[in-house]
Structure 1
Amino acid sequence: MKNIIKMLAVSCSICCSFLSVSAYADQQAWSDYYQIERVDYPTEIDPQIGGVAAMQDGRIALAIHSGEIVIFDPKNNTWSTFAVGLHEPLGIVQESENTFVVMQKPELTRISDTNGDGKADSYRVLYDDFGMTGNYHEFAFGPAVDSKGNYYISLNVASNFAGVFEHIRGDYSDKCNPKSEMQKYHDKQKWIKGYRKQVTRMFSCAPYRGWIIKVTPDGQATPYSAGYRSPAGLHVDANDKLWTTDNQGDWIATSPLIQVNQGDFGGHPAGLNWLAGYKKAHKDIKPDDIKAKRKSPAGLFPQGELANSPTQPLTTSGHQAFGLPEGELLIGDMNTDHLLRFIPDDVGGNTQGTLIPFIAGEDLGIGNFRLDFDKNSNLWIGKIHLGWAGDEGLLKITRTNKPMFIVDQVSLVKDGFEISFNQPIASLPSNVAVTSHTYHYHKAYGSPKVDLKAVDVEVQKVKGKRNTIKISAKTLETDRLYTLDLGKFSDTAGRPLMGNVLRYTVNALK
């Protein structure tokens, strides 16, 4: 374990940058609208939380890094241990009153209390037919569950900061560097200065690393979607749409949010080793070989500004009591001290939309890895760092019910953007600034902003639409991220706009 932590300190695990950034230079007073409570955590329980599930009876189940499932009862302020002996669990869902499904590093497991004594006595493998080379970066995330009870898990690719073990699980890809050479990584300095240079930055040498897998309730698995680097956040929304975040790195210019359908390719080529009929080795792939296959992200997180290592999305549907419109996603991040809202916008069957900074500040902190709403619409957040970047502990966020002023909807129109607000506005924002840019798609690690330019716009009210403005632009372009800064802007009651910088990813035009 000590060796693993040392490797995490010099490489990219869940995260992709050491930079910690804030939602705003002048963080707005989110404490007026939300109370953030750091839960008093017992010293004997590992404070690194890999999974959070708000249970049907109001208790909170946590999958923790040291390998236990513990249950917190907020009503009585008590803690109990439900299960032990797990291997790096990084996700949990409650399947029934006494059963959880947990994603461990080596398997998806159904864990049950069959005699009702509050302790797990049944551990059954639901799915473990995926490869493992022993590389420290081969994390396993999930599960997310749809309305039919199908589970979705995601499998990290490996990192060339290390190689592979002598004994691996699953076939070894003939498109990878020779296994005999990949095992010679234990002399770290020699590895870094020598053979590592011949290995792609990330690699998939064991089956289905870099894939999302669909698993039925009885354990039947389907390779669902390839092309991911470190897809730390999976979520199925109220419409049974599957979402994932990924982390910036090689082939991933800046962290994306992707709405995933079966057969989609997320953009990272390592996992193509396991696509039937695909013959080109990862090291020989060029951007033009795969660019047309790549699924356009629904949202992009500018690195160092909005998110460095986005984590789990969570739908707001059914939780209007939390103060947000239904149908949005909330998203955490490992390195930034804010949450994010994603407002989807369907344009001709294309899913795209707007990312807006949400609750922010030191009270929230960083390392916001797993999120869940309880039945009273309180938001619970589990934090983790894995010896690298992030934080520890459990947060409870409760709305104060004080009215706030936020963006309600952002819609792309033929010649610009329509923005609706949840409160009456007396006048137009006076200092609107809009820019657009794109990114390189290449095998290098990340990308700077490309072709960053100011966009000439006009701002006007929309007739017949309550509390809506239109930002008109002479031209709009696809495959670009538009940043709309509304400046300092208040409603008729003088409340400041909470989240005044909007980032809309344009994949398709009206």
Structure 2
Amino acid sequence: MVKFFVWTVALLCAVSGTAEDAYRRITLQHPKELTLEAGGIAPMPGGRLAVATRRGDVWIAENAYSKDGSGVVWKKFANALHEPLGLAFHDGDLYVSQRSEVTRLRDTNGDGVADEYRCIAKGWGVTGAYHEYTYGPKFDVAGNMWITLNCTMGDVVLPNRDWRGYSLRMTPDGKWQPVSGGMRSPCGIGINPEGDVFYTDQQGHWNSACGIHHIAQGRFHGHIAAFASARLPGAPFAEPKELVENVPVAEAAKRMPIYKPAAVWMPYRKMGMSTTDMAYDGTGGKFGPFAGQFFVGELTQASINRVFLEKVGGEYQGACFPFMERFQSGVLRLEFGEDGSLFVGETSRGWSSVGSKPYGVERVVWNGKGPFSMRTMEARPKGFRCTFTQPVTKEAVMAAKWQMRSYTYEYHADYGGPDIDVKEPEVRVVDVAKDGLSVELEIKPLRAGCVHELTVKGLHSTEEALLTPEIAHYTLNQIPTQP
């Protein structure tokens, strides 16, 4: 057991364009000899945090909620795992993803070290190709365990690639099945209280931008590597007779019904370059004014974004907003702790990041004040309704500068892709709520199947705070018919 104290700790506030002074970051200190490349994190009872490292160990941190990050006690709980990229604490046990299986770890004699490693799920293809990661597990409200499998990238023909690029659901009785496919690099899984499951995917071949996708039975998410398993027993969809490509994503979805584009696109660079984990804010306000939304990690830009989801026509869509930047390393894992703070697991090994350190764990804490931000952006038949965390006056709204760009993406085999079919619609403020907490906007033209990028400059709240961030991106897959 190693006890590590630190004499100086930097408590960093969010920077310009983020949550400003409303949040602080605390670095969990660890001994120099511990290579804390956090591939998985899992809060545990009693103020503890479990961290799985990409080098195959699981460590448990005592005093993980230290006010300044010092005095954390680290003890190795498990080792010899194969690049774990997910960790969960469920019904008193730790579950860790390895490339070829999900393993349950138990300490049966009470000495603080796992002595039982039991395989809980296996059977998908593993070839040794670099990108064949296994992400998860995450448990839904019914006790089902979810994992997602990175597709085998490149044109190399390899055997034993079954279910690469698929989501798998394992029921409590131990049976698993593929639910959807067509994933490229599905690094993060998020589940809301209703039990709906989402995953993040990264820009690349067949993905012009990163995105948040809703997992549902029989869906094809876009990457054609999944067709290699489409003829297997239990496949959730059949390979289409005709692959529709080189057209806008909305048109591809109409002509190829199994294809479901992202519920929310995360525009490249503007909202990150390598989307990672998802954490649902079920803290009831302990983490600020964004309860009921997802916080989404970004590896390359070492940042966290925020996603608001709503259902329109029975399908999820919504908006994404920048949240916090300049974490010490690439943000790979996110989990809310028992006090409502957000743990951030970080690593840059194998993937570059703008962070100043190669790895680590930080904790984000709300200070109870602010920020003044756009809380939600909701679709309306003629435009959008924007709500705020602080009230505004009609005079302030009319004095601000409201601008919009709308665009879409092409569904194609190329690596990533630019905004296409770009327009600059007219934005008109049609109403400001009496309480000052919402604004109704009319957009001409309002276009289904497009991202609507809203910029608001110079808007102040009644408390004289400047709106931050100034930008939001709504993926309008469908225009609602009723307000």
**Is the CA contact (8 Å cut-off) linking 1:344 and 1:351 kept in structure 2?**
yes
Alignment equivalent of 1:156, drawn from 150, 163, 175? 150
Structure 2 counterpart of 1:451? 421
**Is the CA contact (8 Å cut-off) linking 2:30 and 2:74 kept in structure 1?**
no
Q: Which amino acid aligns with 1:211?
A: Y
Structure 1 counterpart of 2:82? 87
**Is the CA contact (8 Å cut-off) linking 2:18 and 2:323 kept in structure 1?**
no
Gap regions ≥5 residues in structure 1? 1-23, 165-171, 173-204
Deviation at 1:324, TM superposition (A): 2.9
SS at match of 1:382: strand
CA–CA distance in structure 1, aligned partners of residues 437 and 75 of structure 2:
49
Q: Kindly tell me: are residues 359 and 45 of structure 1, through their superposed partners in 2, closer, same or farther at Cα, counting changes over 3 Å? A: same
**Is the CA contact (8 Å cut-off) linking 1:273 and 1:279 kept in structure 2?**
no
Matched, 1:250 2:205: yes
Deviation at 1:302, TM superposition (A): 1.1
RMSD value, Cα: 2.2
Q: Which amino acid aligns with 2:180?
A: S
**Is the CA contact (8 Å cut-off) linking 2:222 and 2:259 kept in structure 1?**
yes
Residues 122-169 of structure 1, C-alpha deviation per residue, up to 9 Å, x if partnerless?
Answer: 1111111101121111111111110122111111111228664xxxxx
Structure 1 counterpart of 2:106? 112
SS at match of 1:272: helix
Deviation at 1:207, TM superposition (A): 0.4
Q: Which amino acid aligns with 1:87?
A: H
CA–CA distance in structure 1, aligned partners of residues 434 and 218 of structure 2:
42
SS at match of 2:257: helix
Matched, 1:139 2:128: no
Alignment equivalent of 1:206, drawn from 147, 161, 166? 161
Structure 2 counterpart of 1:325? 290
**Is the CA contact (8 Å cut-off) linking 1:46 and 1:65 kept in structure 2?**
no
Aligned pairs for 1:416-495 (under 5 A) are: 416-426=383-393, 427-428=396-397, 430-464=400-434, 466-495=436-465
Structure 1 counterpart of 2:342? 379
Structure 2 counterpart of 1:4? none
Structure 1 counterpart of 2:95? 101
Q: Which amino acid aligns with 1:401?
A: G
Aligned pairs for 1:220-239 (under 5 A) are: 220-239=175-194
**Is the CA contact (8 Å cut-off) linking 2:230 and 2:239 kept in structure 1?**
no
Matched, 1:369 2:354: no
CA–CA distance in structure 2, aligned partners of residues 140 and 386 of structure 1:
17
Larger relative contact order, structure 1 or 2 (CA cutoff 8 Å, min sep 6): 1
Q: Kindly tell me: are residues 27 and 466 of structure 1, through their superposed partners in 2, closer, same or farther at Cα, counting changes over 3 Å? A: closer
Q: Kindly tell me: are residues 241 and 281 of structure 1, through their superposed partners in 2, closer, same or farther at Cα, counting changes over 3 Å? A: closer
Q: Which amino acid aligns with 1:50?
A: G
**Is the CA contact (8 Å cut-off) linking 1:233 and 1:244 kept in structure 2?**
yes
CA–CA distance in structure 2, aligned partners of residues 366 and 504 of structure 1:
28
SS at match of 1:371: strand
Q: Kindly tell me: are residues 387 and 296 of structure 1, through their superposed partners in 2, closer, same or farther at Cα, counting changes over 3 Å? A: closer
Structure with greater strand percent: 2
CA–CA distance in structure 2, aligned partners of residues 355 and 341 of structure 1:
6
Q: Which amino acid aligns with 1:396?
A: R
**Is the CA contact (8 Å cut-off) linking 2:218 and 2:258 kept in structure 1?**
no
Deviation at 1:219, TM superposition (A): 2.5
Runs of 4+ with >3 A deviation = 28-31, 161-164, 276-282, 288-291, 462-466
Deviation at 1:373, TM superposition (A): 1.0
CA–CA distance in structure 1, aligned partners of residues 433 and 81 of structure 2:
58
Structure 1 counterpart of 2:264? 299
CA–CA distance in structure 1, aligned partners of residues 367 and 290 of structure 2:
16
SS at match of 1:273: helix
Q: Which amino acid aligns with 2:461?
A: D
CA–CA distance in structure 1, aligned partners of residues 146 and 152 of structure 2:
20
Alignment equivalent of 1:401, drawn from 357, 363, 368? 368
More deviation, 142-151/459-468: 459-468
Q: Name the % identity.
A: 29
Deviation at 1:286, TM superposition (A): 4.4
Structure 1 counterpart of 2:220? 265
Q: TM-score normalised to the size of structure 1?
A: 0.82
Structure with greater helix percent: 1
Gap regions ≥5 residues in structure 2? 1-13, 246-251
More deviation, 423-432/241-250: 423-432
Deviation at 1:44, TM superposition (A): 2.2
Q: Kindly tell me: are residues 29 and 309 of structure 1, through their superposed partners in 2, closer, same or farther at Cα, counting changes over 3 Å? A: closer
Q: How many residues align?
A: 443
Structure 1 counterpart of 2:323? 358
Deviation at 1:383, TM superposition (A): 0.5
Structure 2 counterpart of 1:508? 478
Structure 2 counterpart of 1:53? 42
CA–CA distance in structure 2, aligned partners of residues 87 and 494 of structure 1:
52
